[in-house]
Amino acid sequence: MFDFHTHSIFRDGVEITHVPTEKMWKMITKVKDLGAELVVVHGETLVEPVESGTNKAALNNPQVDILAHPGLISAEEAELAKENGVYLEISARHGHYLSNGHVARISRKAGAKLLLNSDLHAPGDFLTEEFAHSILAGAGLDHEEVKRIR
């Protein structure tokens, strides 16, 4: 019914994807109970019809670690990310990366944490040092501003 895929090769994690906002809290509690160490929520990317309010629902939950590809995240949401210590993702994935510049700018303003993620779906998606640098430079960031994971 719901689509989970792992987002990290280093820890057991889930990406909660296209879960209705009113069921988000319950789902997050469930995956934590099942042992998920890392909880990622599939944010309001520009390239998929993610339910409006998903970013906010994720950022309001203290068990969420990462809001992936948050699209045109608002300043208020970036403040929530800072308050709750949620990382906002700079994505290397085709399509999701369209709003990286916006995410970088608004996160810097709010002081929210950023991370770079490959959103790995196939072996060819592993980030090289060079491509990682290009993605960050394209978003107007440098390596020091971003915690880098795959």
Measured from the CB of residue 63, what is the shortest distance to Zn ion in angstroms? 18
CA distances from 48 to 42, 45, 123, 134 (A): 10, 6, 23, 24
Quick one: which of 76, 71, 80, 150 has its CA closest to 113? 80
Separation CA 113–CA 90 (nearest Å): 10
Q: How many residues bind Zn ion (CB under 5 A)?
A: 2
Nearer to Zn ion, 66 or 80 (CB): 66
Return d(Cα 66, Cα 103) in angstroms, integer: 13
Q: Rule CB under 5 A: which of 114-143 touch Zn ion?
A: none
Residue position matching structure tokens 């208020």: 76
42 sits near Zn ion (criterion: CB under 5 A): yes
Least Å from the CB of residue 34 to Zn ion: 19
Q: Which is nearer to Zn ion, 5 or 109 (CB)?
A: 5
Cα–Cα distance for residue pair 59/77, rounded to 1 Å:
7
Task: Please state the closest distance from residue 30 (CB atom) to Zn ion, in A.
Answer: 19
93 binds Zn ion (CB under 5 A): no
- The residue among 42 and 56 lying less far from Zn ion, judged by its C-beta, is 42
Nearer to Zn ion, 7 or 110 (CB): 7
The pattern of x and - marking residues 45 through 84 that bind Zn ion according to CB under 5 A reads -----------------------x----------------
Contact footprint for Zn ion (CB under 5 A)? 42, 68
